[in-house]
Amino acid sequence: MNLARFPFPLTADVYRYSTNVEPARVFTETATGGWGDRVIDVDEHYRPELALRSRILARDPSRCTVLPHMRPAAWDALILILHELVVSCPEHMELRRDGSRWHWKNGLLGVEQSFVFGDEASLPCDPLTFAGGQAQEDLVLLDQREGTLWADAGLVTFAADWSLNFVIGMPFLEIHGPVPRIREERVITRAEQFLLRLQAGADYRRTNWSMTVDRRLDTSTENSPEWARERRLAVAAGQQDRLHLRVEVQHLIRLAGSGAILFLIRTYLAPLTEVARIPQWRHRFGRVLAELPQDMAEYKGLVRYRELVAVMFD
């Protein structure tokens, strides 16, 4: 696997939950190269990941849910995502506007589509599903009302042990209720206050990380019987080569038209055997995992991996 653009998330030998929000589009250098100079990232997994998303949505259409009042925000999100794809991959992507009609061309997928903003009949599917068919990122739209944020729309096929169906229509603070320590340390309250003040057109990012077995993107609650079983089998058999570091790069963007906040979640997976070959990463990850408090390790599902990983990292 090419780790040159892998967003290794740990910047210190001790890890605690924090808002860790920083401006988007800033290149971050790593031991293998760097990442972060773009909002939408197109990489070598582009076609297979979008094919996987298509299969998941065909099996479970509820992975894309848009409450009626969020349809204008879904159109705003579509235009922004298509624009960012052009920024990321100008040699293969093109977006043109001719009056009320837009023209989209995706050379990597062989897609050409004309549409009228706001007219769902002009697209082959709803705008959020169309956007999710062009970009690898999962998409969540947050509405702002009553002094708080609400998760009222999304297309999520690559969730890390959560469910869009469960959180849809739920307030921001309630969604993050199960995460240990964040209420006592007011992490999530500060995060919401930051988002409520986010200005139109502003974009920021943060990272999150965990571990998983195999190159499995869909570790949603709906799919838990399958991935939880494989995790147990891999750990019981001591199969270190199946363990992966899972990193999410999350972008937070206030949409100018609707005022909704677009929450983009891009998931990257790297085999731990390859991460361990990078000395700087091996030392840091080993120290973080050894020091991580029990409650945080349990929430992230890391407790069962600790002994297996300890022999790989120092």
Work out the number of other CB atoms within 10 angstroms of the CB of residue 276: 21
Nearby residues of 151 by Cβ (< 8 Å), 6 or more positions away: 140, 141, 142, 167, 168, 169, 170, 172, 175
* Closest by Cα among 198, 190, 204, 194 to 256: 198
Question: Where does 30-160 have alpha helices with state H?
Answer: 46-59, 71-88, 127-132
How far apart, in whole angstroms, are the C-alpha atoms of residue 231 and residue 166? 23
Centroid of chain to Cα 10 = 17
Nearest 10 degrees: CA dihedral of 38, 40, 45, 51? -170
How far apart, in whole angstroms, are the C-alpha atoms of residue 267 and residue 245? 10
Work out the number of other CB atoms within 10 angstroms of the CB of residue 29: 9
Catalytic residue among 206, 215, 282, 304: 206
The verdict on whether 206 is a catalytic residue reads yes
CA gyration radius, the chain: 19
How far apart, in whole angstroms, are the C-alpha atoms of residue 303 and residue 292? 10
CB 158 within 8 A of CB 246: no
To which H or E segment does residue 113 belong? Answer: strand 111-116
Separate counts of helices (H) and strands (E) for the chain: 11, 13
User: In whole angstroms, how far apart are CA 180 and each of 17, 186, 206?
Assistant: 9, 11, 18
How far apart, in whole angstroms, are the C-alpha atoms of residue 269 and residue 8? 10
Residues with catalytic function: 206
